[in-house]
Structure 1
Amino acid sequence: MLLFYVAVNLFLDGKWSLGSLFYSLAVSVKMNILLFAPALLLAYLTSLGLKGALIQLTICAFTQLILGLPFLLSNPIAYLKGSFNLGRIFLYEWTVNWRFLPEEVFINQYFHLGLLVLHLALLACFYSSALHCLCSYATLKQISEKVKRQLKGKKEKVDMGAAAQLFILPLFTANLVGVACSRSLHYQFYVWYFHTLPYLMWSTPYSNIARLCLLGVIEFCWNTFPSTLVSSAALHVCHGALLYGLWKNKPLGKGRQQ
């Protein structure tokens, strides 16, 4: 996650190529970073256009190629199968989020397919708000660059701190969607998103008491070992409530504002 946050800071500084390098390095450490990819792809397209997005994707792919080159040269088939084994079965005894389901359902491929469909459907639900945020961010970034050129040599500075929220929110939301639709969450996977939860919670229209209660229940669920019917079901309720709050509080597009 450290490499990912380095990448985010580089993106916000306008250092896209270096940011893509660090993002790809983060993916090479842990593939859960790919959960941010849908929002990042949209950020590439809105800020850099199609040509710029293709360049950044090439940087990401080339980085993976270089890192995997020793293994690709020695045993490419085994390396690719091991690196991208998306069909592996997780151990039911370690699941944090699906304890309330029977084990035969937990390992069923149709259940996994259903989660993938739900994942894509939720991403589609947040597409318009993510597009609105990232287009607004790209526009503000362009304006700030023009203003900076006009203020060159003067003491005044352009602060893009608030505008950065338009870039961060879609990334964190896409990651939350992926976590909520995960085939299985093990205890160490809490690190995938726990540091984004306060930010996401305060991006909802809920009261502070409700936000703190949701954070507390999520923490309780992750600290219950072994997981129980109640803890795993409660985790889904909290994820659903958080996603609903984010959807309810999503930015208004031009049509809705009118």
Structure 2
Amino acid sequence: MSSFGTIVRILRPRADILGLLLVELIVGIIIIEKRSYTEIDWIAYMQEVEGFLKGDWNYLNLKGDTGPLVYPAGFVYIYSALYYITDLGKNIKLGQQIFLGLYLLNLFTVLNIYKRIKNHTGILAMVLCCLSYRVHSIFLLRLFNDPIAITFMHLSIWLMIKNKWALAIIVYSIALSVKMNILLYLPGVLLLLNWSKNYRLMVLALLYIIVFQIIIAIPFLSVNPSGYLVRAFDFGRKFEMKWSVNMQFLPLDIFLSSKFHLLLLVSHVGCLIWFLISKASDGNTIKERLQSLNLPSSVKEFISPKNQNKTLDSFTIVFTLFTINLIGITFARSLHYQFYSWYFYSLPFFVCLGTKTHVKLACFIGIESVFIAYPPHPTFSYFLHMFHLYLLSRTFLAVKKLTPYPHKTD
């Protein structure tokens, strides 16, 4: 009885999470059994890693039916494992079952994150995490690499909340090695690390992330380093407009224009700076800081190592990372259907934070509808930007300032 009582005491605080996971397990099994699998990139993934497994380590030679390999080395290793586990990629049903396990692991992590900030978002946010038709499809019926990358990213966020920064940076590095979009979180990761530790350790963490990417890519760098860098971290990659969910209202020449891409980049960086100045402060106004110090005190805090080993509260971590990622999404050059998994699990946070929840819930439904609609439509693309900007603006209004060093932790 005592053992049973111990189990009950352990499970009771997580009853809501376990209940949602049980429902999602049943739903996932039904989806795999009743819905038809749609082939998009799985065969191409298998063809790409097959070349590697046969001994060709020149990244420029690795390609599949949909084009060349354009992901970092971590992707190659993970899908090489899946290649063998799924009988050289032929057992797709087993692959779907593995991705169901991945879906549940990701959901378990996300729900635990929301559990830590439930005083700010409530139970509704946790329920909304389970209500995406498109995300179920991305995980279970498409087998994209995006869910793998974002699962590692969410695990990294959870480790930050647990104040396990060294392990969090390792897991973040793994996520980045699967897909380059994880770079969208990097400004927030470094900012939080600076607040929790100091700027010197922040710089060391950045160096570690770079070194980690180099080490796992050694087989490819030893053969053709420029080929690897061009393909795995291609910042100038051209996307096909027909798959762009967010840019269908643009003329093709503007969509492909380097000047337009530069404008998006400048807007992205400008918004990140705005976030740092307006949210990441010590509570004094910028005018007061300029008058008294001739420098923003956030900059002074950044270069001062005296505040270190501080435990950040969960809300500071989640708000910073989710908001900075949404800024990146808002100014993304192109969002494909699978990219929805990059930020879907942060949408409940923006919906439930602050006031006007019913309006933001309408945005949530609107974004989901845009990603369900096929093919992408110009009008839907326009509204997708409106939804993003509204959620971003309401979030900025909901939180006037973030305190780098909270007086109390949760």
Fold equivalence (TM over 0.5) = yes
* Alignment partners' CA distance in 2, 1:108 and 1:239: 23
Deviations for 1:2-24, whole angstroms, at most 9, x for unmatched residues? 11111112222222111111100
* Alignment partners' CA distance in 1, 2:159 and 2:188: 16
> Measured at CA, do residues 113 and 204 of structure 1 come closer, stay the same or move farther in structure 2, by a change above 3 Å?
farther
Residue number among 152, 158, 170 corresponding to 2:320 in the alignment: 170
5 Å-filtered alignment, 1:200-239, equals: 200-205=350-355, 207-239=356-388
Q: Which residue of 1 aligns with 2:397?
A: 248
Q: Which residue of 2 aligns with 1:184?
A: 334
* Alignment partners' CA distance in 2, 1:253 and 1:107: 38
TM-score (normalizing by structure 2)? 0.54
RMSD value, Cα: 2.2
Report deviation, 1:251: 2.6
Residue number among 165, 172, 178 corresponding to 1:29 in the alignment: 178
Larger gyration radius, structure 1 or structure 2: 2
Question: Which 10-residue stretch deviates more, 11-20 or 66-75?
Answer: 11-20
Question: Which amino acid in the other structure matches residue 191 of structure 1?
Answer: S
- Over 6 Å off, 4+ runs: none
Report deviation, 1:130: 4.2
* Alignment partners' CA distance in 2, 1:164 and 1:34: 21
Q: Which residue of 2 aligns with 1:4?
A: 153
Q: Which residue of 1 aligns with 2:262?
A: 113
Of the two structures, which has the highest relative contact order with CA contacts closer than 8 Å and spacing of 6 or more?
1
Does the Cα contact within 8 Å between 1:99 and 1:227 map onto a contact in 2?
yes
Report deviation, 1:56: 1.5
> Measured at CA, do residues 195 and 186 of structure 1 come closer, stay the same or move farther in structure 2, by a change above 3 Å?
same
TM-score (normalizing by structure 1)? 0.84
> Measured at CA, do residues 214 and 199 of structure 1 come closer, stay the same or move farther in structure 2, by a change above 3 Å?
same
Does the Cα contact within 8 Å between 2:280 and 2:401 map onto a contact in 1?
no
5 Å-filtered alignment, 1:38-117, equals: 38-117=187-266
Question: Which amino acid in the other structure matches residue 392 of structure 2?
Answer: L
Report deviation, 1:113: 0.5
Does the Cα contact within 8 Å between 1:39 and 1:170 map onto a contact in 2?
yes
Equivalenced residues, count: 232
Deviations for 1:53-99, whole angstroms, at most 9, x for unmatched residues? 12222321221111111111111110111122111211011110011
Does the Cα contact within 8 Å between 2:180 and 2:233 map onto a contact in 1?
no
5+ unaligned residues in a row in structure 2: which ranges? 1-149, 283-297, 299-306, 404-410
Deviations for 1:124-169, whole angstroms, at most 9, x for unmatched residues? 2211354249x9xxx8x84x7xxxxxxxxxxxxxxx8xx3011110
Deviations for 1:157-205, whole angstroms, at most 9, x for unmatched residues? xxx8xx3011110100010010110101111100000011011222243
Q: Which residue of 1 aligns with 2:276?
A: 127
Does the Cα contact within 8 Å between 1:94 and 1:186 map onto a contact in 2?
yes
Calculate percent identity across the aligned residue pairs.
34
Does the Cα contact within 8 Å between 2:370 and 2:384 map onto a contact in 1?
yes
Question: Which amino acid in the other structure matches residue 78 of structure 1?
Answer: G
Q: Which residue of 2 aligns with 1:18?
A: 167
5+ unaligned residues in a row in structure 1: which ranges? 145-159
> Measured at CA, do residues 253 and 165 of structure 1 come closer, stay the same or move farther in structure 2, by a change above 3 Å?
closer
* 1:196 maps onto 2:350 in alignment: no
* Alignment partners' CA distance in 2, 1:8 and 1:209: 28
Question: Which amino acid in the other structure matches residue 216 of structure 2?
Answer: L
* Alignment partners' CA distance in 2, 1:48 and 1:109: 38
Q: Which residue of 2 aligns with 1:157?
A: none
Does the Cα contact within 8 Å between 1:16 and 1:56 map onto a contact in 2?
no
> Measured at CA, do residues 110 and 74 of structure 1 come closer, stay the same or move farther in structure 2, by a change above 3 Å?
same
> Measured at CA, do residues 164 and 52 of structure 1 come closer, stay the same or move farther in structure 2, by a change above 3 Å?
same
Report deviation, 1:252: 3.5
